[in-house]
Amino acid sequence: MAARKTNPDRIEDLAGRLEQVEARLDDSGPRRGDATAGGRAASGYCSVPRVPERVFDADVSPERAGLIQVISKKWVNATVLHYYFFDSGPWAGGSAQEDVVRAGFAAWSEQDIGIEFKEVDSRDDAEIRIGFLRGDGAWSYVGRDCLLQGQNERTMNFGWDLTRAGEVDTAIHEIGHALGFPHEHQNPNAGIVWDEEAVYDALAGPPNFWSRDKTHWNIIRKIEPDSVEGSNWDADSIMHYPFGPGLIESPVEFRGGIDPAPGLSPKDIAQVRFFYPPQTSVRRELKLLESVPLSLSPGEQKDFSVLPAASRDYHIGTFGSSDTVIVLFEEVDGKFVYVDGDDDSGTSLNARLDVRLVKDRRYVLRVRLYYSFSGGDTAVMLW
């Protein structure tokens, strides 16, 4: 529903009549959400683009595959995510729309996280490329999937007017996807039993006009279990759709619908700070030939300083039965410039970098664990 604006030029009784109309609309049954739900449902639902699901070897257990699926979408912490607004052509939105998205980025940044967002003028410099094509819905690729899209392509779109009341929540939701968070209502721990035909019917109509396939992908489909965070279901998450009555069979208390509270929920904040904790400048140095145990929980990350004593080719690798992603950055004028990375998840190999490092330059190695077979016996070494 559009925001209720008070125009001083309008006569009183018109405002009164509008109020009555709105009150009737509020009582009129199966609408999804309302103005307090950020207009998220009234405008239409977010539809995450389909990407090929990763196929694992037969010896990869469902638990291991699930953790890799969920965690591998996340960026390594302390990444600077650059975002770009298309400024001409059909994807441009103009400054009023852009400002709402900027406010969405600020809502995440205000949580004191280790990820920094930086607006740039060139799409070539941006991991997140934002368009405003009307009628194309709201969507974003999830986390590192953004890197798989062409540099001239959008990774996020807003298909309706964001300047209406509460629409900042649409921006916060899409940026949540860009940070690597999936839809909360697809959390398998939600235990939602859908009236599936009612859901397909509701979504086939306005404002979404979705095919059964699209509805399945975005609502009915359960996302792999994630044992990171306990993963209790959070019906107030910014990543949860509002739902009208008649779509959920159980839990019974939601038969009348779900209307997530506006903004980030306490669990959203806990989740983003788990994956992207604020950065401290104190880092352990990874010394030559020293094997450092990692003792990480799934999803956790450790950072090391690498200060080469000579300019030569080095190797950096993990040891032990685990799935990890390692990324090396060079510190240049207080900024971290990507050097190399490796992801060994779902394989029997270890993550390994073969890189030339230069004496007196400063590097930072970031190691994120997906899965460990026997709890903590993973180590990292420089040689």
Which residues contact Zn ion by CB under 5 A? 46
Q: Taking the complex as a whole, how short is the minimal distance between the CB of residue 40 and Zn ion, in angstroms?
A: 9
- Residue among 46 and 294 whose Cβ is closer to Zn ion: 46
Parallel/antiparallel/unpaired status of strands 284-285 and 335-343: unpaired
Q: Taking the complex as a whole, how short is the minimal distance between the CB of residue 206 and Zn ion, in angstroms?
A: 19
From residue 23, how far is each of 92, 116, 196 by CA, in Å?
Answer: 35, 42, 29
Q: Taking the complex as a whole, how short is the minimal distance between the CB of residue 178 and Zn ion, in angstroms?
A: 10
Q: Taking the complex as a whole, how short is the minimal distance between the CB of residue 213 and Zn ion, in angstroms?
A: 16
Q: Taking the complex as a whole, how short is the minimal distance between the CB of residue 196 and Zn ion, in angstroms?
A: 19
- Residue among 176 and 317 whose Cβ is closer to Zn ion: 176
Query: Token digits for 352?
Result: 């390994």
Say if residues 82 and 118 touch (Cβ distance below 8 Å): yes
Q: Using the 8-state DSSP alphabet, how is residue 156 labeled?
A: E
Query: Token digits for 219?
Result: 């609502």
| Cα(91)–Cα(134) distance, integer angstroms | 8
Q: Taking the complex as a whole, how short is the minimal distance between the CB of residue 181 and Zn ion, in angstroms?
A: 9
Burial of 245 (0-12, 13-18, 19+ CB in 10 A): middle
Residue that is written with structure tokens 């770009």 in the block: 84
- Residue among 46 and 364 whose Cβ is closer to Zn ion: 46
Query: Token digits for 277?
Result: 């904790």
- Residue among 169 and 330 whose Cβ is closer to Zn ion: 169
Q: Taking the complex as a whole, how short is the minimal distance between the CB of residue 155 and Zn ion, in angstroms?
A: 13
Query: Can you give the three-state secondary structure of 118-185, one letter per residue?
Result: EECCCHHHCCEEEECCCCCCEEECCHHHHHHCCCCCCCEECCCCCCCCCCHHHHHHHHHHHCCCCCHH
Residue whose C-beta lies closest to Zn ion: 46
Paired residues of 278 in beta bridges: none
- Residue among 46 and 202 whose Cβ is closer to Zn ion: 46
Q: Using the 8-state DSSP alphabet, how is residue 230 labeled?
A: T
Using alpha carbons, select from 300, 339, 297, 257 the residue that is nearest to residue 41.
Answer: 257
- Residue among 186 and 324 whose Cβ is closer to Zn ion: 186
Q: Taking the complex as a whole, how short is the minimal distance between the CB of residue 54 and Zn ion, in angstroms?
A: 20
- Residue among 185 and 302 whose Cβ is closer to Zn ion: 185
- Residue among 46 and 235 whose Cβ is closer to Zn ion: 46
Say if residues 193 and 21 touch (Cβ distance below 8 Å): no
Using alpha carbons, select from 220, 156, 210, 216 the residue that is nearest to residue 185.
Answer: 220
